[in-house]
Copies of this chain bind each other. A is one copy, B any other.
Amino acid sequence: MRDPSAFLRKHGLPITAQRLAVLRAVSAHPHSTADALAEAVRAEIGSISRQAVYNALGTLVEKGLLRRIQPAGSPALYEDRVGDNHHHLICRTCGKTVDVACAVGDRPCLKAADNAGFKIDEAEVIYWGTCPECLPLAPARSEEQSPLKISESDKPTQNPSI
């Protein structure tokens, strides 16, 4: 997004310092939590209320400027890459999240085998696994761990993006 101000204006949204700063923070730190983004914004413009961050993220997601992903066991993450139907690959150990192109092509994921009468508008795909850095640390894995729940002791680098 080249001109965030123009975009906000186009949608009839008042342009505020908070919204612009949140937008820049997401762009600079994709796949970050609301909390991490609030910190990033504070580093840039001094201060912002928690609610203002949630407000900004909420309306920007609603208007389609941002995308919210909510992995199991993790707070919501935000990114500014929208409209290309890409998916995500998340490390169960450190939480690192990377984008992956849709495996099936452009937007075919929207077709379920049987839609049960639903009108489907989104296919959300999350690949769970272990990232290259964490592979040597935890080669074996039992049936399931609570994903993204890192005990304070064995976390290598939480929120590596920010």
Contact = CB atoms under 8 A, between A and B. Distances in A.
A9 interface: no
Given A61-B144, A112-B87, A115-B89, A129 B122 contact: yes
Interface stretch (A19-27, A30-38, A40-48, A95-103): A95-103
Q: What is the copy number of this chain in the assembly?
A: 2
A62 B128 CA distance: 16
B72 A124 contact: yes
A120 interface: yes
A144 to B, nearest CB: 6
6 contacts: A101-B113, A103-B112, A103-B113, A115-B129, A118-B130, A119-B135
Interface of A: 58, 61-64, 68-70, 72-73, 76, 87, 89, 91-92, 98, 100-104, 109-132, 135, 141-146
